Each structure stands twice: as structure tokens, then as C-alpha cells.
Amino acid sequence: MPEIRQRPATTGHRPIEAGGGIEAHWHDRHQIVYAGRGVLSVTTDAGSWVVPATRAIWVPAGTIHQHRAYGETTLHTVGLEQNPLGLKAPSALVVSPLLRELILTYTSDEDESAERRRLHAVLLDQLRRSPQRPTYLPTPRDARLVAVCDMLRDDPADARTLTDLGRLVGASERTLSRLCKADLGMTFPQWRTQLRLHEALRLLAEGESVTRVAHQTGWASASAFIDTFRRAFGHTPGSRRA
């Protein structure tokens, strides 16, 4: 197993090619991770987040994580001594237009001017006001649930019921429902919707059309996909691509 290194929780920005990323590492400071362009995934042992430009990921100090880019991505990171959110676990945060501009501006240089210190203070204020959004896809632990989730990861459009999938792994629908709550902290339909949204973000970043993405990720129609996407991320998939 490769060594998991500590990396400095730097403040700055860098381009990442499509499919590129940063392997598993950890920081001794907290970090805000944001994709100003493209789509970024952040993965920990507990699960993964896939986020467009309307979301950022809070990564607490000491959390082992890795990044992956979908589409040409610009990664912006803000290292913080403070924990303005009081969060001990990673979380997805809503990035308002103001917070976006603050992150982009703050990560554009590294001078220690009085102006930049004031900018840092405003950035912390906006982070405190930023609501969390459930874009998290937790990783199951029970072997039967792992098998079910792996089948859906292989084909997010798979429309089989939990009862149908349970027959393949030797577990009843009731048992799997209980495991979803215990292992994943959500219902099976909620987990499947999150999986489909994550896959949709990846496909959109790779240039697929909205209609094709809706079909590949299991929605009954493009309009149903657009409605779910807008409720999850605050904008339509077409505007995200633009």
C-alpha cells in the first residue's frame, strides 16, 4: 500500500487535466476545496462528494482524502487555521456568487497585505453563513449492501427494486432497507438518486448532452432529470455546462 503523505493545506489555485487528480493525503490544517471550473470529486474512506461550481467541500484537518477532476478543472484551495463552521467531518457547502468571487480572488495571489487580510475576514464570515447541502455519497460496509451498491455504480440506470437486487445478494428488502439506514444514513432511493446525480455531473463535465445524461443515469425523461438536478444544485444542467 502506498504511503499516505501529509501535504500542506495551501492557499492557491492550479489547473488539473480531465481525469487527473491528487492521490490520498491529509493536512494538519482545515481546507476549503473548490472547483472554479469543471467538476471535482473529493473521496474519503467514508464516501465521496462530486461538486460543480455552486458547491465547495470543507475538509477538516487530519482527514485522509483524494481529488479527481472531471473535465478541465481549476482547483482552488484555502487553508485555514480556524474552523469557522465548527464541523468535524467533510461537508458540501453552498457557494453563493459572493463567496465564489471571494474564493477566486483570495486564491489568486499569496501576498500578506492588509487588504488581503480584510478579504480573509469577509471570506470567513461568508463561510459561516454558507448552508450545507447533502451531495455526499456514503460508502457501505455490509458485504450484501456493498454488492448492491456496486451493481448500481456499474449501471446507474438500473431500475430494479431493492427486492429484486436483494434476491441476487441473499437479503430481503427489509434487511437491506435497515442496512441503508445503518450504513448509509439514508434510504435506498435517496442513495440511488445521489449516485445518479454524481454520475450525471461527471458525464456533463465530459461533454455529454443533457438528454443523453438523463438516459444514461436512469431518469424517465430529460425534464425529470432537469428538475431533480435543479433542486439538488440550484441551477439546471444546461446552465452548468454553459
Give the tens place of pLDDT for each residue, 168-189.
999 999 999 999 999 999 999 9
Q: Counting Cβ atoms within 10 Å, is residue 56 exposed (0-12), middle (13-18) or buried (19+)?
A: buried
Integer Cα distance of 76 and 33 in angstroms? 6
CATH 3.30.750.24 is right for the domain spanning 140-241: no
- Classify domain 5-136 at the CATH topology level: Jelly Rolls (2.60.120)
Q: How confident is the model at residue 212 (pLDDT cuts 50, 70, 90)?
A: very high
Domain with CATH 2.60.120.810 in the chain: 5-136
End-to-end, the C-alpha distance of the chain in Å comes to: 40
Q: Report pTM.
A: 0.84
Q: Where in the chain is the domain with CATH 1.10.10.60?
A: 140-241
**pLDDT for position 134:** 65
The confidence score (pLDDT) of residue 235 equals 85
The three cell numbers of residue 152 are 448500481
How remote is the C-alpha of 43 from its chain's centroid? Answer: 8
pLDDT band of 110, cuts 50, 70, 90: confident
pLDDT in tens, 37-71: 989 999 998 889 988 888 999 999 999 999 999 98
Residue 242, pLDDT > 50, answer: no
